[in-house]
């Protein structure tokens, strides 16, 4: 979607804004190919109840996306060992997994609960697959930022997303889960780097450590290594559901594309793109370094009315940390001073309140939303105001409360090493990821371009 044409607020100093002088932009003469495989996203959009959790050549591998879980999760159909599943697309993690039949469900505090509480979609029948091969003496164990966790055995299996199929892919099939799904989503399709995978050299998933961790190639890297895609890129284009779909539909198909082999097949504004390096990390977990985990980038500035009074807005490097492009997160999670100042720019101002144990900025659902953009690699990317107020929380009186699409990472008084640009940002752009093909003078890269309305 093309962003609204709103007043423009720059908080960059001039020498950083000029694209040729930007320290983060990568100059490249290559044109991104259109993906060979594109798969549509879809999304289940429940009614407003429950708690909140939070380049051109022709394509043949494009998968449509669906949606799921409070307008927060974009999902795609996949086949594992001949069995069909709906998986959350997550650029912030690397493992692709589905729970096996007969798994044990736990609360997020570790207490046993009925399997129905985890509310997964279909589960994997290990014995029903003719291609499943156990990976002996290794185990899987991961806890996500939401507190959700899964653990258990691992195998090699045939995995297909759309028409893109790989053989002998490592696929965890956990038998332990602490989860709150939506009855549709069965697991996750992870698209981050191998160093972010969670496989361990032990048969006991409780006996895991950094020392016995075994990185492996996620699905897309396996596809490239098996020469199933010509160009080592994948891209994400997220659409938003209509207001009527958000209010009434239980399932929302065709909400964008996951594309393998290049850029997603959607119209873009070509003079609005930037190509930037992915940030690596050192052994202390800070940038810069030469170990890659996530699709992390540097932000030049956050731009909104009043940003000139927030040092961390007009010079984002002052906030420290890196920013991850994360399809698995609905919101933007930005430095606390930026979130507070942007909330104050709403009319009437957004307020920080406690909702189900989370400190979140909320606003009247008919509030006037101020413009908000980020500058990356010298290029400004404006976010649609419709994504900055999300009517997904019901208060004690039964009234719908809107939470802000841009929140503080770690809370307003807690510093954070990482910030996130989630679906609020990604709905306005096509993000193309290059997790394999390094240049001579730059590391892995990402290209971001504005979607044409």
Catalytic sites, residue numbers? 90, 326
**Other Cβ atoms closer than 10 A to 202:** 17
CA distances from residue 42 to 91, 131, 185, 404 in whole angstroms, order as listed: 17, 28, 11, 23
SS (H, E, C) 280-313: CECCCCCCCCCECCCCEECCCEEECCCHHHCHHH
Q: How many residues does the chain have?
A: 453
Contact 100, 124 (CB under 8 A): yes
> Diameter of the chain by CA atoms?
62
Pairing of strands 234-238, 358-363: unpaired
Rounded distance, CA 375 to CA 381, Å? 6
d(CA 153, CA 158): 16
d(CA 360, CA 394): 14
Of the candidates 199, 106, 207, 88, the residue with the CA atom closest to the CA atom of residue 153: 199
Neighbouring CB atoms inside 10 A of 217's CB total 19
Round to whole Å and give the CA distance between 157 and 142. 20
Place of tokens 């908000």: 372
* Cα–Cα nearest to 73, from 189, 162, 151: 189
Query: Among all chains, which residue has been given the structure tokens 């990402």?
Result: 446
Write the DSSP symbol of residue 124.
B
């Amino acid at each position: 979607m093309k962003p609204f044409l709103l007043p423009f607020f720059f908080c960059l100093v001039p020498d950083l804004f000029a694209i040729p002088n930007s320290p983060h932009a990568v100059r490249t003469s290559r044109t991104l190919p259109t993906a060979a495989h594109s798969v549509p996203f879809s999304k289940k959009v429940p009614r407003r109840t429950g708690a909140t959790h939070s380049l051109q050549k022709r394509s043949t591998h494009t998968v449509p996306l669906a949606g799921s879980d409070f307008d927060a999760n974009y999902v795609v159909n996949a086949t594992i060992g001949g069995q069909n599943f709906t998986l959350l697309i997550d650029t912030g993690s690397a493992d692709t997994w589905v729970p096996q039949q007969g798994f044990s469900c736990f609360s997020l505090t570790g207490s046993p609960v009925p399997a129905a509480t985890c509310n997964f979609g279909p589960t994997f029948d290990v014995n029903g697959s003719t291609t499943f091969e156990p990976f002996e003496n290794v185990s899987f164990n991961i806890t996500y930022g939401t507190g959700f966790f899964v653990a258990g055995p691992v195998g090699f299996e045939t995995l297909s997303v759309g028409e893109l199929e790989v053989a002998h892919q490592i696929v965890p099939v956990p038998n332990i889960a602490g989860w709150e799904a939506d009855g549709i989503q069965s697991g996750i399709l992870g698209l981050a780097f191998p160093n972010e995978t969670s496989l361990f050299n032990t048969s006991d998933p409780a006996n895991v450590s950094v020392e016995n961790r075994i990185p492996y190639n996620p699905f897309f890297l396996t596809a490239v290594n098996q020469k199933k895609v010509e160009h080592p890129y994948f891209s994400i284009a997220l659409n938003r559901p209509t207001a009527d779909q958000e209010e009434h539909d239980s399932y929302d198909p065709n909400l964008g594309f996951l594309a393998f082999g290049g850029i997603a097949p959607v119209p873009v504004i070509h003079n609005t793109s930037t190509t930037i390096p992915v940030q690596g990390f050192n052994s202390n977990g800070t940038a810069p370094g030469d170990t890659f985990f996530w699709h992390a980038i540097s932000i030049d500035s956050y731009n909104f009315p009043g940003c000139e009074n927030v040092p961390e807005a007009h010079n984002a490097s002052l906030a420290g940390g890196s920013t991850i492009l994360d399809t698995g997160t609905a919101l933007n999670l930005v430095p606390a001073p930026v979130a507070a100042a942007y909330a104050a720019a709403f009319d009437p101002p957004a307020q920080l309140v406690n909702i189900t144990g989370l400190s979140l900025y909320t606003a009247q659902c008919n509030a006037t939303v101020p413009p908000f953009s980020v500058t990356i690699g010298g290029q400004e990317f404006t976010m649609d105001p419709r994504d900055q107020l999300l009517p997904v929380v019901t208060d004690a009186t039964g009234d719908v409360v809107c939470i802000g699409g841009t929140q503080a990472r770690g809370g307003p008084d807690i510093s954070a090493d990482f910030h996130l640009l989630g679906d609020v940002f990604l709905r306005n752009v096509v993000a193309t990821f290059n997790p394999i093909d390094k240049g001579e003078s730059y590391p892995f890269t990402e290209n971001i371009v504005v979607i044409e309305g």
